[in-house]
Amino acid sequence: MRLDRGTAGRPLGSQAAQAEPSHSSDIRHRSNTQLVWNTHMRTMTIGTSLLAVVLGCRATPVTLDPAHAAAMRDSVTQMAAAIAQDLARAGPSAWLQYFEDTPAFFMASDGQMLFPTRDSADILVGGLATRISQIVLDWQDIRVEPIAPGLAVMAAPYHEVVTDTAGAQTSFGGFFTGLATHSTVGWQLRNLHWSSPVPAQ
């Protein structure tokens, strides 16, 4: 049962109880202090051990030897050239074979999300294919930065001429960045961003 304590620290209703000797209180105080200290030290030891385990499990940074990095630059540059060739031959639908078919895919342009998912890309590119007959894409000064095996950043200025089904042409230009990934189907783009120069005011 619960015992309510008075201001003197003794149980109420126990007036006959005798005060404990002072040396007993001192021993109990030292014991409690030692118990708190031991608990604190055990907590610190466990925390330090857990931190050591977490730090020990951190992934070792991946490094690429120069030959591997050079081969990746060449193969991603070849992918960019193949994209341009296929767009000139087949129009916008050619893009789909270079878009990574995973939930991570997206494409943005001038700060706006155009394709938030791969499914949305399939739908919108399919619609463009009915209105656009050819795209001439010219990459300029392609830069490829390998990050890890099968993963690289591609960046390049570009110029693009789009021809619609009526024969009218529209030109675009700006800068492209994208994340290229390699899988069993070859190099593809996980995400893309196109930016255009801001017109002078």
User: Residues 108, 39: one domain?
Assistant: no
> For residue 108, is pLDDT > 60?
yes
Residue 80 lies in a domain: yes
CB of 87 closer than 8 Å to CB of 133: no
Count how many domains the chain has. 2
Residue 9 lies in a domain: no
Residue 195 bridge partners (DSSP): 175
Pick the closest to residue 146 from 173, 182, 114 (CA basis): 182
Confidence label for 78 from pLDDT (cuts 50, 70 and 90): very high
Average pLDDT over residues 175-189: 97
Measure CA 187 to chain center: 19
Query: CA angle 117-118-119, nearest 5°?
Result: 90
- pLDDT, one tens digit per residue, over 115-136 is 999 999 999 999 999 999 999 9
Residue 136 lies in a domain: yes
- pLDDT in the model for residue 34: 54
Residue 141 lies in a domain: yes
User: Residues 42, 88: one domain?
Assistant: no
Burial class (CB in 10 A: 0-12, 13-18, 19+), 163: middle
Residue 125 lies in a domain: yes
> For residue 83, is pLDDT > 60?
yes
User: Residues 117, 157: one domain?
Assistant: yes
Range of the domain at 154: 66-195
- pLDDT in the model for residue 52: 52
Domain of 86, CATH number, reads 3.10.450.50
